[in-house]
Amino acid sequence: MLTFNEYADNAHKTALYPDRGDNIYYPAFGLCGESGEIAEKIKKMIRDGDGILTDELRSSLAKELGDVLWYIAALSHEIGFELEDIAKMNNEKLLDRLARNKIKGSGDDR
């Protein structure tokens, strides 16, 4: 099984952008771009594909999710966090909200 940090270590080997280690912009913009690619593919599924999630599209979306993960790993690194810690913090936050019946609603710190 691949852990988050093993993934991040491998991703880091392929992070060859300018000023790596002191550049939050590149992975932040990349994350937006790859997220946009996912939205675009789903938009086209609605527009051109009768809203049907084909196996080809599923596969394509899975690859784009991987691209999103790569940028999350890179941005995590740029802000000084391990990917594992990001995942752990998010799990803890949401499980805490669930326990307090605060999943619904808005606000980052509810």
59, 24, 16, 10: which is closest to 38 by C-alpha? 59
Q: Which stretch binds Mg ion (CB under 5 A): 16-24, 46-54, 59-67, 74-82?
A: 59-67
Structure tokens, 78:
């740029």
Q: Which is nearer to Mg ion, 36 or 103 (CB)?
A: 36
Handedness of CA 71, 72, 77, 80 (dihedral sign): positive
| Residue 84 within binding range of Mg ion, rule CB under 5 A | no
| Residue 67 within binding range of Mg ion, rule CB under 5 A | yes
Q: Which is nearer to Mg ion, 36 or 54 (CB)?
A: 36
